[in-house]
Amino acid sequence: MDPKTAVLNEIFRKLDSNYDEVVSWRRHLHMFPELSFKEKNTAKFITEKLKSFGLRVISNIGGYGVVGILEGKLPGKTVLLRADFDALPVQDEKDTGYKSQIPGVMHACGHDGHTAALLGTAKVLCSYRNYMHGNAIFLFQPGEEIPPGGAKPMIEEGVLDNVDYVFSYHLDSQTQLGKFLVGSGFQMAAVDKFVIKVQGKGGHGGSPHKTIDSIIVASEIVNALQKIVSRSIDPLKAAVITIGIFRAGSSFNVIADHATLEGTVRTFDNDVRDMIKKKIFQIAEGIATCYGASFSIDYETGYPALYNHPEETETVRKLFTEEFSEENVLEMVPTMAAEDFSYFLLERPGTYFRVGSQTEDPATQYPHHHPKFDFDERALLYMEKAFCKIIHHYLFKKQDI
């Protein structure tokens, strides 16, 4: 066995021996979750752990963002590893000893696991700085769940200065434990939100001719919006327009004078994204004018589409195949969900991958954001080993070990 491989095996053995401690961190975070942009105590917990490892730590970046910096003894590249740590407004319905102690707040997407695993990665790698050509940055990001997200403010405050590569992961409760999902190109969609308010003229339900029915106007807008994708978008380009809220009326016999629609647009292609926004304004204006109503639109441009860089993605695929076997490295299927790690990938080459966490235990099979969401905690080790494998590839050189 060559010395470089021997060092990686030693790193993995240390990860194995620290497993119980990492699980305890995950359970602590799970019991005391905090919502997006309110993660004060979570950030404090992370900061204290990083300092105890001997890292240089910078806190309160772009809000509650935290960065731990591991400087290698020798010059080389700088690799950033990212984990998110915000929770969701979901009531925890699990029956476990570590269920959330905060009413109505829960780690229902695995961010507690992401954070614990990155902390575990940082702790072990700190012992190997003398072997490292370059630096490892452990970035803990707040506010992933709610646009505008925590990634952009952290980038604006300079966390990517001198960084060469960026990598992130996400637990996947729909994928078997021990499997990894890897894929090049666009993997997650850009996400926009819009609110359309229609102002009509209310009146008696028996005298519609004396009114401008805002529900009729808004309904026509809903129907027309659904035709944008089927009749205005290239069939080979993906897009989704969803109306999630339709609010109007107060009584069965009163014609509502106003109605509100709220929806989302998901796309990969920027030209498609811009065209859909333009069409939404045109449709709302045309239909409202036709009925004599007025309207307003609040359109929020959210996260960009997540694009995995081909070279770095194929490097990660090769590394994981080498370490975990070819049968355990699967092709990622693009989704119309969104993720603000996309901002990092706009600025630096890298990739975002998924780590399976499902077993035959029904408790591990609930989808993300479900009130009973949980995962097999052995996935923490797979996440740590994946990150350490990446750092080992980019920052460890055989001739210096």
* Cα angle value 75/79/84 (rounded, 5°): 150
Q: What is the pLDDT of residues 212-228, one digit of tens each?
A: 999 999 999 999 999 99
Report which of 212, 215, 293, 221 is spatially closest to residue 252, judged by C-alpha positions: 215
Is the model's pLDDT at 1 over the cut of 80? no
Residues in the chain, how many? 401
| Token digits of residue 192 | 């926009």
DSSP conformation class of 195: E
Rounded distance, CA 25 to CA 113, Å?
A: 9
Give which of 361, 349, 353 is closest to 382, Cα–Cα: 353
Rounded distance between C-alpha atoms, residue 317 and residue 307, angstroms: 16
Structure tokens at 349: 């080459």
Return the number of other C-beta atoms located less than 10 Å from residue 44's C-beta: 13
DSSP string, 69-83: EEE-SEEEEEEEEEE
Whole-number Å distance between alpha carbons of 188 and 305: 6
Q: Which pLDDT value is given to residue 184?
A: 98
Over residues 256-289, the pLDDT tens digits come to 999 999 999 999 999 999 999 999 999 999 999 9
Of 194, 105, 86, 91, the closest CA to residue 149 belongs to 86
Ranges of H-type helices in 59-170: 111-125, 151-156
Does 7 or 401 have the greater pLDDT score? 7
pLDDT at 307: 98
- Whether pLDDT at 364 is above 90: yes
**pLDDT tens-digit profile of 20-43?**
999 999 999 999 999 999 999 999
| Domain spans, the chain | 3-188+305-400, 190-301
- DSSP tag of 285: H
Handedness of CA 38, 336, 373, 92 (dihedral sign): positive
Fold of 3-188+305-400: Aminopeptidase (3.40.630)
Looking at residue 400, its pLDDT comes to: 62
Asked if 86 is an active-site residue, the reply is: yes
Catalytic residue among 34, 39, 144, 145: 144
Q: What is the pLDDT of residue 335?
A: 96
**Read out DSSP for 318-349?**
HHHHHHH-GGGEEEPPPBS---TTHHHHHHS-
Is residue 213 flagged as an active site residue?
no
Q: How many CA atoms lie within 13 A of 199 on its CB side?
A: 4
Mean pLDDT of the chain: 97
Pick from 332, 326, 323: which is nearest to 356 by CA? Answer: 332
Tokens representing 166 are 């960026």
Catalytic annotation, pick one of 86, 92, 339, 374: 86
Q: What is the CATH code for 190-301?
A: 3.30.70.360
Predicted pLDDT at 399: 60
User: So what's the pLDDT on residue 40?
Assistant: 98
Q: CB of 389 within 8 A of CB of 351?
A: no
Confidence of residue 401 (pLDDT cuts 50, 70, 90): low
* Contacts for 310-316: CB closer than 8 Å, 24+ residues apart: 310/184, 310/185, 311/349, 312/165, 312/167, 312/349, 312/350, 312/351, 313/182, 313/183, 313/184, 313/351, 314/184, 315/393, 316/167, 316/182, 316/351, 316/353, 316/390
pTM: 0.94
E-state strands within 207-331: 239-248, 254-255, 258-267, 294-301, 306-308, 329-331
pLDDT in tens, 96-118: 999 999 999 999 999 999 999 99
Tokens of residue 279, six digits: 């069409």
- pLDDT number for residue 162: 96
Q: Are 256 and 213 in contact (CB under 8 A)?
A: yes
pLDDT at 94: 97
